[in-house]
Amino acid sequence: MKFTFSILIILLTFSSCYQAERNCKNFKTGTFEFTYTIDGNKITNRFTRNDSLEIAHINNTIDTSTVRWINDCEFIVKKLNPTSVSERKSFHMKILSTTKDSYTFEYNAVGDIENKQRGTAKKID
């Protein structure tokens, strides 16, 4: 019992020191790909982002959104020319961790903190 408790304390000590890498500045601009599934259909979103705009290419459609950075790892995206009420919603994006060429993020409609989604975007340029 004493041995098990000691191992548990050691594991908790080392796991609490781990922090995911977050070099968010590397992902403020560039061209990225994000693949997701809706109703069983796999969709790839390729987008190019500069400091204030994001241009997405989804299924032969081009969509432009404004980008407003809150800090180095969080930003708000809002469609520039929404065509429906649902497209008028802004989305809060938060980069959770980064690697050399990708980042894992969490996103939700602004004000809807209960329906957060996660994804990974890969920097391709």
Q: Using only C-alpha atoms, what is the Rg of the chain?
A: 18
DSSP annotation of 88: G
In terms of CATH architecture, what is 21-123? Answer: Beta Barrel (2.40)
Cα 30 to Cα 70: distance, rounded to the nearest angstrom: 18
Cα 120 to Cα 20: distance, rounded to the nearest angstrom: 14
Q: pTM above 0.85?
A: no
pLDDT for residue 36:
84
Q: Confirm if 122 and 36 have CB atoms less than 8 A apart.
A: no
pLDDT for residue 86:
84
Is 27 exposed, middle or buried (CB count within 10 Å of its CB: 0-12, 13-18, 19+)? buried
User: Is 6 a residue whose pLDDT tops 90?
Assistant: no
Question: How does residue 103 score in pLDDT terms, banded at 50, 70 and 90?
Answer: very high
pLDDT for residue 11:
53
Over the stretch 84-100, which tens digit does the pLDDT of each residue have? 888 899 999 999 999 99
User: Is 114 a residue whose pLDDT tops 80?
Assistant: yes
Sorted by where each begins, the domain ranges of the chain are 21-123
Which residues are registered as beta bridge partners of 58?
Answer: 45, 61
**Bigger pLDDT: 117 vs 1:** 117
Distance in Å from the first CA to the final CA of the chain: 54
Map residue 125 onto helix, strand or coil: coil
User: Is 4 a residue whose pLDDT tops 60?
Assistant: no
pLDDT for residue 38:
81
Cα 101 to Cα 24: distance, rounded to the nearest angstrom: 11
pLDDT for residue 41:
87
